[in-house]
Amino acid sequence: MRDRYFFPLAATVAAAFVFMALQPFAHRAPRGPLSCGGCANAEDVTAAGDQLHRFVPGSFDGLAIIDPPGGGPAVLRITRLADQVYDDPRFGPHLPIAEDLEYAFESREIEVIIEARASGDFAASEFEADYYAKPEGESGWRTFTLTQEFAPRRVTFTTPPRGDAEGNDLLGIRPVAPDKRRVMEVRSIRIHAIGPKVKPPTPADSVLPPG
């Protein structure tokens, strides 16, 4: 083949391989912290379906996005081994919260509604959730029962002021694993503000009255 035909043909084939590798039309699940991202109300957001891909495993692997056998949106399956022991929710499966939501929720009471169920041969009978804003400001692990059917479980918590640091908020979720391993599934997570923003005290508020 002559050069004047070979090189344009080679360039076309190379471009086609690059185009196929990039898969511009393939579905890409969302990643990164949960954000309002143009939603109507940053004070009320829900992670469900593809949004559950935003969960990260922390130091332990045990996350899987699965399609329910009966159809419907994908759900998050969380598996925990009995020897996976930690207190800090950043070390386990958790949903990072973006700065825009952190700003919307700071210094106010919020409610987290977790729609979850037990799953698998080693189905968990309980799970724990912890809304973490900073080391000195977290809800702490709250324990809830699980059944074989999806049901909502609620955590209420008054978030602290952000201070100088941003990008710390997250929601940790883990099944309780007393032995071997335990499995649970999460179908949706809703986080919404249920109280007004609490104003920090002013210097005048801290002055003791005379006498």
Tens of pLDDT, residue by residue over 190-210, are 999 999 988 765 555 444 444
Q: What is the mean pLDDT of residues 39-45?
A: 93
Percentage of residues in the chain with pLDDT exceeding 70? 80
Decide if pLDDT at 24 tops 70. no
- 133 has a pLDDT exceeding 80: yes
**pLDDT value at 211 more than 90:** no
Mean pLDDT of all residues in 174-183: 97
Q: Which of 77, 81, 166, 180 is nearest to 119 (CA)?
A: 77
pLDDT at 3 exceeding the cut of 90: no
What does the pLDDT read at residue 48? 97
